[in-house]
Amino acid sequence: AQKITQTQPGMFVQEKEAVTLDCTYDTSDPSYGLFWYKQPSSGEMIFLIYQGSYDQQNATEGRYSLNFQKARKSANLVISASQLGDSAMYFCAMREGRAAGNKLTFGGGTRVLVKP
């Protein structure tokens, strides 16, 4: 079974609007962390935001917020006030506490295109 599922392969968003990128995960480990990365066309992986399994509040970093619903095993990324520079591929990833090698397990990604 897929451990990280991103069901939206691609989406358009109007500049200045908010966009929600879906991510569901599957783990039996009680200790885990969820990450979102941005990959622009240049290819590098840019860390955006982190949510720990024991965190009581949803994580926020500037225009990024993570809608963490633990019972539903979802960790959706919300980008507010989209900018043209937000056009990129976005990956959801999970690190399980017991995973060897600090392994990150990634979803397939969602490509976001911001329209002016």
Binding site for other proteins (CB under 8 A): 4, 9, 31-33, 35, 43-45, 47, 50, 52, 91, 93, 95, 97, 100-104, 106-109
CB of 77 to other proteins, least distance (A): 15
62 or 116: whose CB is closer to other proteins?
A: 62
CA distance 48 to 29: 23
- Contact predicate 6/107, CB 8 Å: yes
CB of 79 to other proteins, least distance (A): 18
CA distance 28 to 37: 23
65 or 95: whose CB is closer to other proteins?
A: 95
CA distance 100 to 107: 18
102 or 116: whose CB is closer to other proteins?
A: 102
CB of 66 to other proteins, least distance (A): 13
CB of 47 to other proteins, least distance (A): 5
Other C-beta atoms closer than 10 Å to the C-beta of 83 total: 11
14 or 60: whose CB is closer to other proteins?
A: 60
Q: With CA atoms as reference, report the closest residue to 50 among 27, 23, 15, 19.
A: 23
